[in-house]
Amino acid sequence: MTKLNKILLLSVILLGFFQGGLLFLGLNRVDVSPAGTHRSLYVSKSFYDDAYRLAGDGFDLNDDEVVAAIVPHHLFVKDRSAALFKALSRFDFQRIIMIGPDHLNDARASIVISDYDWQTPYGSLSSDSRLVSKILDAGLAATDEQAMGAEFAISGLVPFVKNSWPEADFVPIIIGTDAERENLDKLVDFLVENSNGKTLLLTSVDFSHYKSPAEAEAQDKISVKAIEDFDFERAFTLDVDSPQSIYMILKYAARIGANLTQLLSHTNTGLIQPESSQTAVTHNIIVFTKPR
């Protein structure tokens, strides 16, 4: 064996040990999913079980009908996300639509959808392939499985969806920063028209970034006020990681008749761990409801 071959063999062995260690930790990012499926951000069931344990009994909701919610994808506050899913799991939703940002903003279209199933620690989350096909046929979105599979705003939360509604079908949508308002409106109209009465719309969004904790608090007050007021114009100016996604949930809730909001949680990393960073990420969990 030549010296070069020995080096190549050693490199392969070391790479195998490295990836094996990541798999053991449940943090492997190498795509080993079967063809036609995506996988959750973390494959470790204990990661999400711990979130549910920390969430306790979940949030207290009023007696109104929940049709939509804003939930963070920053898993630093995974217990807060778990608390929302625990609270919502008592509702018999049959379809979950999740809208979030295209963080890399490199998808081949400004609105991307997928009909792949998702592998999660709680089992396979099935795609609502029928609705996805109708959206594609209407020209309202395109597919880009590489972009969808890489988007942690979706992949980080799919285990919560599967655990809360084991039999529900799933529709993920990611929105680029260049998505035009007219196209967002058309998609919202389509989703409303095709709502089956057992549909939950989730917007996976984090709020302020790269600001001091105090500045982030001030920005969040503006953002929450705009959401509570259903201020469609201001939605596009909010300090969130996907103003387009916020706009869509506001339009959807208004069209459905869910004009009531309930702020369940507000968190600020700069206040939770002030010694760790001079900047903060904030999160607001808000549900949209209508009277029964």
Is 203:285 a contact under the CB 8 Å cutoff? no
d(CA 47, CA 64): 31
Mean pLDDT by 10 residues, the chain (292 residues): 39 36 35 74 96 96 94 97 97 98 96 98 98 98 97 98 98 98 98 95 97 96 98 97 98 97 97 84 98 86
CA proximity to 153, closest of 245, 52, 247: 245
DSSP letters for 71-108: E---GGGHHHHHHHHHHHTTS--SEEEEEEE-TT--SS
pLDDT digits (tens, 9 = 90+) for 57-111: 999 998 899 999 999 999 999 999 999 999 999 999 999 999 999 999 999 999 9
Give the residue from 144, 158, 275, 279 showing the smallest Cα distance to 219.
279
The predicted-structure confidence for 230-254, as pLDDT tens digits, reads as follows 999 999 999 999 999 999 999 999 9
What are the domain boundaries of the chain? 1-30, 33-290
Contacts of 146 (CB under 8 A, 6+ apart): none
Domain 33-290 part of CATH 3.40.830.10: yes
Print burial letters for 121-144: b (CB count within 10 Å at least 16), e (below 16). Answer: bbeebebbeebbeebeeeebbebb
Cα distances (Å, whole numbers) of residue 230 to 89, 235, 252: 26, 8, 11
Asked if 175 contacts 245 with a C-beta cutoff of 8 angstroms, the reply is: yes
Q: Mark out the alpha helices in 102-242 (DSSP H runs).
A: 129-137, 145-150, 152-155, 158-164, 181-193, 213-228, 232-235
**DSSP state at residue 59:** -
Helix (H, G, I), strand (E, B) or coil at 214: helix
Instruction: Give the pTM.
Output: 0.88
